[in-house]
Structure 1
Amino acid sequence: MSRIFISLTALLALGLIGLPALAQSGASEQSERKSNSRSSKGASEPKDLTELKDLNKNQFKANKLKEAKRILLSNANPQLARALADEVLRVYPNDIDAREMRGISNLKSRKFEEANHDFELTLKNPDKLDKNKRAMLLMLKGTASMDLCEANQAVQELTEALSIKPIDAAYFNRATCNVQTFNYEAAIKDYTFLINHERKRPRVDFMRGRVHYLLGNYDRAIQDFTSGIKMTPSNASLLYLARGRAFQAKGMDKEALQDFNKGFLQSDDFAENHFMFSIDQTLSDTGSSAANRLTQSDNNYEEALKLKESGKLKEALLYLDRSIAQDPQRNAARILKGNILLQLNRPAEALHMFDIAWTINNLDLEAVTGRSKANLALGKPNRALADIGKLIWANPDDATLYYQKGLLLEKLNKKIEARQAFEKAITLSEKNKKLALAGGKRAIGTKLSTKEESLVKARLEVIK
């Protein structure tokens, strides 16, 4: 049931992000191939060995990039596409199209740091980029920065991309970054642009409504959720649940209960991957073989849980690796492995696990929570704060999240914002206590523990 309440927002699928880039990335090669074809027809043979080598190099480059593009477009193994791009870069170290393709491959492989670096290198050759190419590369780099939780940097890059060319994905992703950094008014502007131009609805209605809810604009939130429901009445589980929350906040309990019931009856298929692109993974096994692998994965996961409870953490990791190998989509195993790695003081490895888990299913808040802890352990409070922003967006009535937000803002020496977060935590905690006492059981946010409440009040005394 908790999963129904959890809905993270929106990065576009990499298919929507990557395909335009890939379509453009081959433009120069196609032109080059045509030129080579014409020149080969016009001359019976190359003038010398150097020209022959150049022709062979050009054909080599065209073939490798064409195959890499095919792999990425078919959602096949992105690491293979990266290997092909690397082959081209060994011959043409400064080739923009090969570097861009390598960046997209890294993005799809969840190697966000490397993807960011690839796009950065490509953008250092402005004289070789036309306007559209530069806009697309800035959008891709902004996406990589966002995936790294460098939300402020991502906003700058996406804004620069939009100053060159209006790209839906850039508006969408910039709004996402503004949600992460609690710049809700700016997020609403980008969502409104997309809505006014009839883009990406009803998903954008849903997200703008959630931001209105966070701002306390419940009537506007209800309008957005209603608009989304009208567009997809049979597939609007999260919209009904979100609207129910807004009705409840206005004291309209009858309407809230009706929406909650409708939301629970429907599936949550509407909750597509929202903060990041999805990674399509298919199992080659079919039939009983695949079923057997899943059973083995379950058994290994259960054994890992027992080992963890008995304190045998390193042994538990071995069983988790087996579980993941047998079922690559098993997020619970990745998250458990990440948490164990944190216990073993290996935050970089833990972060990698949480990144993969979040990519596969970013409705899983355990993955986001783990990533926030890992980033904090790595001395990156800004990135941790961006993940807290995602969690608050998904669970706007959770007092403990505002408590964590306040602690992070204190670390960043943002005292005013920290105080506001702590005050919000106290307010929500009191509200949720009253709802619990009234017998409410649905859409109730988490309240602070006695210890957390004491700590918050102590912090408020310190921060004036």
Structure 2
Amino acid sequence: MKKKLLLTLGVFILIIHQVSYSNEVCQKAFNSFEAGNYQEAIKYYDKCIEEHPDWLPAYYYRGYSNFYLGNYQVSLQDIELAINLVPYGEKETLNAFNYLKGQANQYLGNYKEAINAYSMAIEFNSADLASYYNRGLLKNHLNNYQGAVSDFTYIIDLNSDIPSAYIGRAWSYANLEEYDKSLLDINKSLGLEENGSAYHLRGLVYYFIGKYEEALVDYSKAIELNPEDISYYFDRGLLRNHLGDYILAISDFSKVIEFHSDFTGGYINRGQSYAGIGEYEKSILDFNKALELEESIDAYVWRGDTKRLMGEYERAIFDFTKAISIEPDYAFAYYRRGWCRKFLGDFDNSLLDYNKAIELDPHYAYTYMARGQLKKEIFGLEEEAADDFEMAILLDSVIRKGGNCKPYALFYLGKVQEAISYTEKIIEEFPTNGNYYDAACLYSLMNMKNDAVKSLDKSIEKGYSNFIHMINDPDLDNIKNTDVFLQLLRKHNVKVKIPNPAR
């Protein structure tokens, strides 16, 4: 089967060019090309060009043959020669040659040159929708989203029944954060043709606007329609990680690894999922595998975070420091290293790390929360700590399915009842194991021991299994040696050694 030039539209652009074959060799060349025997066609066209160096079709079809074989640079050389031989005024031929030139440059990654070639093709034929489409795709790739919208809109105005044009414009709108327009285009595309890419894109848009359940449904539909596209499994895995559905996320990332065993991202994200269910050894193995494939900053950071959860703070600091040495502007690495340094009593360096993390990323609420705690508990800087807690509250203004730090900030500001009320509101909206665990930590800090244990019990019932982290978590120190806590461990058959309370 011939490789199609326009893969995304599934359209083969025909060249309308009457050819007079002057000899048997040239006829054999064309016959070989038509039969898909491109290597053989190239040999015959080489001979044709030796005999007829000004014969335009030979350069074109030899270039086309090399294109089909993936020899894009060689193909470009013939296309340029062919363009120079086109008689003045043959717009249709020049349109076709420039389209092929755009395709070859596109495959080579020469995107600006490809855009120029498509623009030239359009100049010779303003109804060339394929060139508009590919130029729109490349504008999206180069972040020229408004320009891409213009190209896809032109196509839609001329032919409103091309599903891929709506998808192209939907990508543009999504990147412009015009999500309502993006959804309208995706739905229009799906009305014309049911395809995996449309469901996948709609899933992404739903994710961006916080409609996670709808996103999961669409990712799953995309997988049903195209079960071999690993990007669909990968994005569904990311969403499941975000929602705390770690076991299902592991399944998705394992599928990604099954298809592409050398994809670093599959191991890193599966490692995070394993850490989420407390299977730290498997988590570390995945991060190690990722680092065998490439020196990944994310692998160092998340391996360090897993070691942090295991209570191996010095080893965690080593990984965070390694990540920072590779990428000095990685804010999260400073934040986590600061957390570990505080736990080890290295308070001055902990503060330096928190300061650097906030300098690099002033929008992450948890860093302000952690720095506020350090300033309040260790340095006695009450006013500065209060400023940090207020900033954490400002940044953490939306209730999420996991990772809400606003109740802690309210507690440290002395607004205990507000903290309790907000915690209850979080659990009412998202009764997840993570939110029950956070509630347990907060109630422990408030010395509400029975409430803390009840919340922890509920968290474990809902699937919380990070028991090593739980035992090492200083927020739970007020309940760790109580009878009700020990009874809870026995109830759930949790066998861990309880350390001395953290300083």
**TM class by smaller structure:** 0.3 to 0.5
The alignment's TM-score, normalised by the length of structure 1, stands at: 0.47
Larger Rg belongs to: 2
Higher relative contact order (CA 8 A, sep 6+): 1
The alignment's TM-score, normalised by the length of structure 2, stands at: 0.44
